[in-house]
Amino acid sequence: GFLIYLIINCTHLLVLGEGVRRLHVSSAFKAKVAMSRFEPGTSISYEKLHENIDIVRKRLNRPLTLSEKIVYGHLDDPVGQDIARGRTYLRLRPDRVAMQDATAQMAMLQFISSGLPKVAVPSTIHCDHLIEAQIGGVEDLKRAKEVNQEVYNFLATAGAKYGVGFWKPGSGIIHQIILENYAYPGVLLIGTDSHTPNGGGLGSICIGVGGADAVDVMAGIPWELKCPNVIGVKLTGSLSGWTSPKDVILKVAGILTVKGGTGAIVEYHGPGVDSISCTGMATICNMGAEIGATTSVFPYNHRMKTYLNKTGRADIAALADEHKDDLIPDKGCKYDQVIEINLSELKPHINGPFTPDLAHPVSEIGAVAEKNGWPLEVKVGLIGSCTNSSYEDMGRAASLAKQALDKGLKCKAAFTVTPGSEQIRATIERDGFSKILRDVGGVVLANACGPCIGQWDRKDVKKGEKNTIVTSYNRNFTSRNDANPATHAFVTSPEIVTAMAIAGTLKFDPETDYLTAANGEKFKLEPPNGDELPARDFDPGQDTYQHPPAESGSVMVDVSPTSTRLQLLEPFDKWNGKDLEDLQVLIKVKGKCTTDHISAAGPWLKFRGHLDNISNNMLIGAINIENDAVNKIKNRLTGEYGGVPDVARHYKANGLSWVVVGDDNYGEGSSREHAALEPRHLGGRVILVKSFARIHETNLKKQGMLPLTFADPTDYDKIRPDDKISITGLATFAPGKPLKGVVKHGDGSQDIITLNHTFNENQVEWFHAGSALNRMKELQ
């Protein structure tokens, strides 16, 4: 791309990096700025950030955590905003929006429905989710472009029409692209993917949201977030040997569990932070989504400065140095909870199967697996993904592969490698890592999510065949990676994945166990090593970015009315002003119900832009408490059993609204708002559970649904699968005021239960209007 030199005098504002950062410069400053991949626009300045922080600190009269500085620094009204951790809703002005292609379809369809001509903040679309892993990177990318041509064309033209940058298929995974290009210390970014917190490795507050939230920000409307609590994780000591940054978050996940971070930002601090690379910090923040955290963040330090310099943003690093006091926590700040981890004592971990918070030291997993009957043979080892696909990750994995090759060994397990971006792919190819990983038996896949999100055309086992895979990914819910419920998926570091792929068994502890060389010699793998960043500059690879044109009046965005992939949206109906009477229980869900259970990914990704078609996967993975079966519920109108979406459609056609009853942490996992859109589209009005995951609860509110929780969790046991439930008190529906549920049983008896909600005044208006999008139109 072309280079532009900007000379700024005195306190003028400087457009930096991607052309979106408006940062305060205290003296004359000459900046060499690469502008080829970045759309014009402006965002919050460090001067404005400091001004807001100063206002809030004086108001609260106490030291602030780093999380508070960045979040409160982006308040729409820092003077008048009511601020109370865990209680009030904040109105914020994010700097940027990022959308991956699976969620961008619905987000852009909603933005088109808003009637607005252009996005109000810098925004980008990243094509990473729709590329299926099958043969190898080149072949799989070519096939994806053919299969998804209609969707890619829609996203490219919609981006051009409405001022959104478009990263073409093959560019890389959204979170790696953000880290390389858009994240910087102090920025507030929202992304339509639950692992958006990856950017916290660069001192950013990056939060995963649903597409409707993204539409609010793109429309220039203040974005609402419940004021987060702050969990402090104090790191001491330093990482060494086989222990990696991944082990930090695997340990934290074991401590906090999949819902322990709900409603909180996890803020890492302490002297141990400096022993972790910038991309290692990103790994830790990325997987904070697995504990339900709003996001995670690290304080600005020299490791971030080095990364900024190496990725062409030395000018931003210089400004961050000037404003460092606003990019680290205040001395004496208070956390709501503190966890301490001594990195010098931390051992390699592996978590799973079936949940990312079941933590085990690698030294113990073999015995635990034997005791539980988990398959010991590792069928496939998979490294990469948005969590672990940095230059450092690939280098450390290659260092182990090289040791095996030198001894005449190759992987006993199948082995796949997913580069995080085109820049990473090109650089590890240039520096020889890719060849080493291929030589040891690896297949280098496309720069995309691939098997991590179920985009894996797996052929080596049959569905239902019990087997074990080991990945460096972030999630390992049942069926997530390969649609096989019998696959035992374990999450660990790329280094441990590589070692276990070479050994072919879960019983291999590389710290203590020996391998047998081709000549019969016994040897141990030396601890992995790898450079944090390339000695030479990164190789950018192919240019895969489409800049939105300055004039877009002639750009056409076509959605065929006969398309099976894309469908323009119709507004949902408004609330009729009455209580919700006699809602039929569609399904009472037993146990864990993630967004993968509510709206599966994998083969269903192709319908993410077509609400009616994708609704055919609604709750097909949830367990029905009535019969312990999946996708088999009783139709109370016909007496026959059918699939969940089929019964829901039958109820809707007959004017019968319905309710879903669920357990704890309902909607855990991905940010996909389809899990909220589908129930609304098929006639659902209420989701009643013990507790919600944060993003899913907000997504339901945005679509005009009522997400309610049992005031007494034991009331879950009172609900029978054939019940009807009435929700009363809606005429006076208001923040902090519980609603009543009248549970009507088939035998004529009733239970009256209290139902809590977390709606604020604006969100109540969403319910009244039928959706947040409807409300937005009312206010235009």
Residue numbers annotated as active site: 128-129, 193, 475, 670, 672
CA–CA distance, 237 with 146 (Å, rounded to integer): 50
Query: Following DSSP, what letter does each residue of 348-408 receive, concatenated?
Result: -EEE-SBSTT-EEEHHHHHHHHHHHT---BEEEEEEETTTB-SHHHHHHHHHHHHHHHHTT
CA–CA distance, 426 with 543 (Å, rounded to integer): 11
Pairing of strands 188-191, 96-100: parallel
CA–CA distance, 378 with 502 (Å, rounded to integer): 9
Task: Give bridge partners of residue 623 from the DSSP assignment.
Answer: 630
CA–CA distance, 480 with 460 (Å, rounded to integer): 16
CA–CA distance, 206 with 189 (Å, rounded to integer): 5
CA–CA distance, 711 with 324 (Å, rounded to integer): 44
416 within 8 A of 133, measured Cβ to Cβ: yes
CB atoms near residue 16 (< 10 Å) = 25
Pairing of strands 295-297, 264-269: parallel
Q: Order the strands of the 295-297 sheet from edge to edge.
A: 295-297, 264-269, 229-236, 337-342
CA–CA distance, 304 with 279 (Å, rounded to integer): 9
CA–CA distance, 725 with 722 (Å, rounded to integer): 10
CA–CA distance, 599 with 477 (Å, rounded to integer): 13
Question: Mapping DSSP to helix (H, G, I), strand (E, B) and coil, where does residue 223 land?
Answer: strand
Query: Following DSSP, what letter does each residue of 190-217 receive, concatenated?
Result: EESSTTGGGGGGGT-EEEE--HHHHHHH
CA–CA distance, 23 with 27 (Å, rounded to integer): 12
Helices 211-218 and 694-702: crossing angle in degrees, nearest 10, is 70
Written as one letter, the residue type at 45 is S
Structure tokens at 522: 């016994």
378 within 8 A of 366, measured Cβ to Cβ: no
**Residue of 91, 60, 97 lying closest to 74 (CA atoms):** 91
Distances (CA, A) of 203 to 184, 495, 529: 6, 25, 25
CA–CA distance, 300 with 281 (Å, rounded to integer): 11
Distances (CA, A) of 62 to 59, 89, 90, 327, 332: 8, 20, 19, 17, 9
721 burial class (0-12, 13-18, 19+ CB within 10 angstroms)? middle
**Residue of 568, 548, 667, 554 lying closest to 612 (CA atoms):** 568
Q: For residues 229-246, b (16+ Cβ closer than 10 Å) or e, as one string?
A: bbbbbbbebbbeebbbbb
CA–CA distance, 126 with 651 (Å, rounded to integer): 37
Tell how far CA 520 is from the center of its chain: 46
In which residue are the tokens 């996001």 written? 295
